[in-house]
Structure 1
Amino acid sequence: MIISATIYNIFESIILGYKYYIIFSFILFFVFTSDILIFNLSSRRYLPNVEVDLRVGSEKVRKYSKHNVFVSFLNKNNGVVSFHYYVYTSDTFKLTGDYENFLTLGPYERVEKSFVIEPTTIGNYVLGPVSIYTEDGMKLAIERLEVSKSVDLKVAPSLSETMAARSERLSNMLYYTGVHYNKKAGEGYDFLSLREYYPGDEIRYVAWSRFGRTRGDDLYVKQMEEERIIDVLFVVDYGIGMNHGHDGIRMFDTVISDVLKTSYKIRKNQDGVGFMISSSAFEYYIKPSRTARPVEDLEKVVSGIRPAGKFDFVNIVQDTKKKVKKSTLIMIISSFSSTDNIMRGLEDLKGYKAMFFVLNPYEFIVDGTENMTLRYTLFTRQYAISKAIASVIKSRGFRSDVCGRKDLYRKLVSAYIYAKMTNMGE
């Protein structure tokens, strides 16, 4: 564009007779032309011959753990080449170090740079490629290339999240360890009540200390609490609507973290736990078990995927009914961003023990005072919508509650304790 303007000025000066301007225009033309020619014959020609390699120590990482990334550059030219570089990354990574810089490499020189990444959200993310670009001295032209391979990083939940529920400090602060509300009479070790003796009752349960207390010859037997085990299945919405939030606070990440901590609480109480991660894009079912295997499998699953597709409630209900018993406690966690056929899904779920946790997406937007009015308006409107969905679910006879980032874990554990107290796993 500048060269075209210069040529135009030269012709205009020739026609109008401005001899000094003609000289200046010629000089300016040759300066611009020389700059472009030198750029095309040196930096632009050398740039494709720069070899770049991007590598990490491990492609499986944990959230909040720091990992070194190395970028090596090799100049395969017989001349000097200068360029800028930048490593493309997701906004879920905190970066420190030389992930972008300016380099000058001599002939056949190799240089290695390193930087540190710290993932803040679980899921599968791409690191790379590396972009290198160079421009002429007058910044009239630029050459940009994307080189090196990309690296897939699988980010699993952090150790602090998965181990938090195991710590006695957290257990004692929130709830007593071992919630054994078993009010059903049967064979057990804990005394429940007394009843009159009937022919056929086992002699070992006779309360001899009560013999003859009322009528002189009456017998009573002890009723014992029978230890019962329940299975809990977490059905987690992993549709695209679970991507609400940013800066390390994503809705799906918070949900998985709280589900993991609740799962450890359930396993500590010797109950079974399983998971269903579902959307129209994928479905992962992990059968309930009292072992550590389901939790380990969940960590592997969520480190390899990210929310996508649509949460089809009706299909998920039908799939769940095929896989679990009616005695299984089903905890459904979703924002219900799509309410299509929700009534039909609730009808199909009748006869099953299900609890619903309706997420308010605007609990996961950034905190701050700069958008308080807008944030309050959005939060209030969305809370009203979430409350209405929860009310519809309650009207169909299911326990339901609206949850946010700060109270989901507490409500999950409270719901589990309620299920134990009311023998929902019977």
Structure 2
Amino acid sequence: MSVSIPFQDEASQHLSTGNITAYMQALGQSARLAARELRQADTGLKNRALAAMSTRLADSRGRILDANAEDLQRGRENDLDSALLDRLALNDDRIDAMIEGLRQVADLPDPVGEISDMRYRPSGIQVGKMRVPLGVVGIIFESRPNVTMEAASLCLKSGNACILRGGSEASASNAVISDCIQAGLADVGLPAGCVQVVATTDRAAVGEMICMPDYVDVIIPRGGKSLIERITRDASVPVIKHLDGVCHVYIDTTADPAKALAIAVNAKTHRYGTCNTMETLLVDAPIADLILPELARAYAEHEVELRGCERTQALLPQASAADEQDWYAEYLAPVLAIKVVDGIDEAITHIEQYGSHHTDAIVTQDYSLARRFMAEVDSSSVIVNASTRFADGFEYGLGAEIGISTNKLHARGPVGLEGLTTQKYVVFGDGQVRN
């Protein structure tokens, strides 16, 4: 395979003159050509590319840390909050995790080329489905520079070319990581257009990328609500995304109290800033006076602020009154909304009205109620008797994930390698013609 792609030099020239539209078009053309070459790449070649990237990453550790220090200093000068600075920061452990992540992706089964559902038709032809790459994936993300390598590895292993646009706050770190990716591709003879990191912080680049259907097949945004809202609103390219993570746990009257306590505490307090963290707890009225005081004591140990309906406040005087906006809230913080409900019908109605179709769980010993909850709750993950925190690609056995989708079409839930592919029909014949 050739290393050179003609539009690479053209892109650099356009960037130097500030022509963002022409620059992004050149990246798109380069990616589209590279996607054709990637369709010819076998699993061994893709894995060798990932290994080469991991070697280049390890060799560039010092450069990455220096660049990241520059990003952090600029972030502090721009008054980034502590949570954003933490996501931005790289250290030896996080670089080691990036290297290990490349090795883990290389170890994952390659979905490309898998043929399924083969069957004979009366005409004698065989019809089946083959799993194939999407083509060119555009990924727009904020803050975390380790996402650059994570996204590159997943797209490459699934046979997709990708265009990556990281946040301006991580521009120096992403530039060095991009160098490692390009060097790794060159080491094995894959074209530079397989993985391109947008080399400008100009926001116009995002607007161009999401409106290039001739060159980009799908957009995946990873970041805050405002970013995802903007991309969903303005994109003319299909978007794989979730907007909010308003996740619920419903505790049914038949629930085992010990299981309910463990699940409800873990779902809220394991990590506060994740999209699969519980934000609203629903408790069946007959069990509320038993379970809520126990839960309140556990939440107090974690300094979780409670906001509740009137019936919750009657049982938990320390809870402040929840208003309508609390039921819609994705707090991403040690704050929890609690509502006492009259059975599964009210619980499902509440989830349908206020939820975000991300992840919702029921704690119950009633098999019929569990089946009904699974059938009627319209979320990308529905969980019975376990924490919402399990809604994660690694926990589902997918390996790394590119994000979580609440879309109805194509990919739904955690998006791993298979979610970055699609299927086409394949037909085998032996000279048949249609009568």
For CA contacts below 8 A with separation 6 or more, give which structure has more relative contact order. Answer: 2
Normalized per residue, the structure richer in helix is: 2
Q: Which TM-score band (shorter chain)?
A: 0.3 to 0.5
